[in-house]
Amino acid sequence: MPLTGRWTLTRYLIEERRRYPQASGDLNALILDVALACKAIARIVAFGSLGTPCTPLERSVAPQPAGGRTNVQGEVQKPLDVIANEIFLRMNEWNGHLAGMASEELAEPAQIPASYSRGKYLLAFDPLDGSSNIDVNVSVGSIFSILRLPDDAAAGAPQRDVTEADFLQPGAAQVAAGYAIYGPTTMLVLTVGNGVAGFTLDPNLGEFVLSHADIRVSPDTTEFAINTSNARFWEPPVKRYVDECLAGRSGPRGKDFNMRWIASLVAEAHRILMRGGVFMYPRDTKDATKPGRLRLLYEANPIGFVMEQAGGRASTGRQPVLGVKPSSLHQRIGFVLGSRNEVERIERYHHEPMTREPATPLFAERSLFRD
């Protein structure tokens, strides 16, 4: 493993490629283009309300700020959502490595223009995760997932356009995934299926430099994150887990827990990778039409792949998230991730038979009839 702080992302990818002498280098080139898009977004986010920067490259890919419209998710788009999405599309459509792209901001897959060559990979991304936090200067990020074009589709490439079905692959099929986080420093966290590495953007070099060589998630933790405003909608296993954590040292867990909530998946995942913890955005009864809040293909799967490669666990609460076969491009799902022992405990609670809730407070734990 290389010394941290001395290898650029480019060198890291070259060394990883040496493990596969038959590799063409297309994946490396694609990841570098994704990283370039993240650099451009990092600069624009850093300018905040001052407006977008004006380098020739950024002017060529960033549209005029727009917002107020709703995307396919029914969510109001921030101006930077639109700009970040455009940057991802423009910086990755030309390289000849992609057959198509899918984005949180687009109802259908984005096709590669006819003027460019097509390749064997698919890119799914959330261009600006946590954008609702921008106004209060909380860390946001970009999430990406790279898949291979299915063999039956590749046989017809480059003649036909990609379809939604091409992207409907379980997370275990990902060849690379990661995220960029735009905070006090900009970092790119990446897995190509051989562990997880973190790269910090050196503003002097303009390069991502290896700063976290082999990120590992502690199997145990005393920290959890969940949106407690949804407590009345939680399923019993989730409520049981949170109640036990809140009971602290005097409760069944025998230790005190701290609770966190940032409301940005990238920021939550990054905190867990750096110091352990568990994050829960579980399935609940708040909206019966939505089996979860987070999107499977370009949020849960890439973050889940990173977490599993770092020794953590990513789950729906009932099963490994990377084993779920997607049913639609923008499918939502319950998501639990982090320190392996805690996630496995939550899964176990979902599979254990639930004891019947007492019909009256007289027969609850503090019952008048309890010895």
Domains in the chain with CATH codes = 9-212 (3.30.540.10), 223-351 (3.40.190.80)
Q: Indicate whether 356 pLDDT > 50.
A: no
What band does 15 get if pLDDT is binned at 50, 70 and 90?
very high
Site of tokens 């223009």: 113
In this prediction, residues 113-125 reach a mean pLDDT of 96
Give the DSSP H or E segment for 12: helix 9-17
Least confident of 110-119, 150-159, 270-279, 284-293: 150-159
Q: For 189-284, where are the alpha helices, taking DSSP H only?
A: 236-247, 265-275
Range from 47-51, 86-90, 173-177, 254-258 carrying the lowest mean pLDDT: 47-51
Calpha distance 22→14 (Å, rounded): 13
pLDDT of 115 over the 60 cut: yes
Name which of 1-10, 43-52, 351-360 the model is least confident about: 351-360
- Alpha carbon distance 28, 50 (integer Å): 34
- Is 366 a residue whose pLDDT tops 70? no
Tell me how crowded residue 338 is: count the other CB atoms within 10 A of its CB.
30
pLDDT at 180: 98
5 has a pLDDT exceeding 60: no
CB 330 within 8 A of CB 124: no
Find all residues with CB under 8 Å of 200, minimum gap 6, and list them.
185, 186, 187, 208, 209, 211
| Cα four-point dihedral sign 253, 257, 262, 268 | negative
Q: Which residues contact 25 (CB under 8 A, 6 or more apart)?
A: 17
Please tell me the distance from the alpha carbon of residue 104 to that of residue 17, in angstroms, as a whole number. 30
Q: Is the pLDDT of residue 365 over 70?
A: no
pLDDT by residue (tens digit) across 322-353? 999 999 999 999 999 999 999 999 999 999 98
Q: For 87-96, 252-261, 340-349, 354-363, which range has the lowest pLDDT when averaged over its residues? A: 354-363
Grade residue 119 by pLDDT with cuts at 50, 70 and 90.
Answer: very high
Could you tell me the two tokens for 170? 């379980």
pLDDT of residue 159: 67
Instruction: Decide if pLDDT at 136 tops 80.
Output: yes
Task: Considering only residues 312 and 23, tell me which one the structure prediction assigns the higher pLDDT.
Answer: 312
Using alpha carbons, select from 234, 271, 241, 274 the residue that is nearest to residue 257.
Answer: 241
Are the CB atoms for 146 and 97 separated by under 8 Å?
A: no
Q: What value does the mean pLDDT take over residues 255-259?
A: 97
pLDDT of residue 178: 98
Give 124-134 pLDDT, tens digit per residue.
999 999 888 88
Q: Tell me the average pLDDT across 160-181.
A: 97
Residue 122 structure tokens: 């698919």
The share of the chain scoring above pLDDT 90, in percent, equals: 75
Burial class (CB in 10 A: 0-12, 13-18, 19+), 246: middle
| Helix, strand, or coil (residue 85) | helix
The pLDDT of residue 369: 45
How far from each other are the two terminal CA atoms of the chain, in whole angstroms? 60
Q: What is the mean pLDDT of the chain?
A: 89
Q: Which two tokens stand for residue 275?
A: 């110091």
- The residue-averaged pLDDT of 5-17 equals 90
For residue 55, what pLDDT is reported? Answer: 55
Tell me the three state secondary structure of residue 56: helix
In single-letter form, the type of residue at position 152 comes to D
Residue 370 has pLDDT above 50, yes or no: no
Strand partners, 320: 315
C-alpha span between 67 and 79 (Å, rounded): 4
pLDDT tier at 226 (50, 70, 90 boundaries)? very high
DSSP symbol at 57? H
The mean-pLDDT minimum among 14-18, 168-172, 215-219 falls in 14-18
Whether residue 238 is predicted with pLDDT greater than 70 in this model: the reply is: yes
User: Is the peptide bond between 150 and the residue preceding it cis, with omega within 30 degrees of 0?
Assistant: no
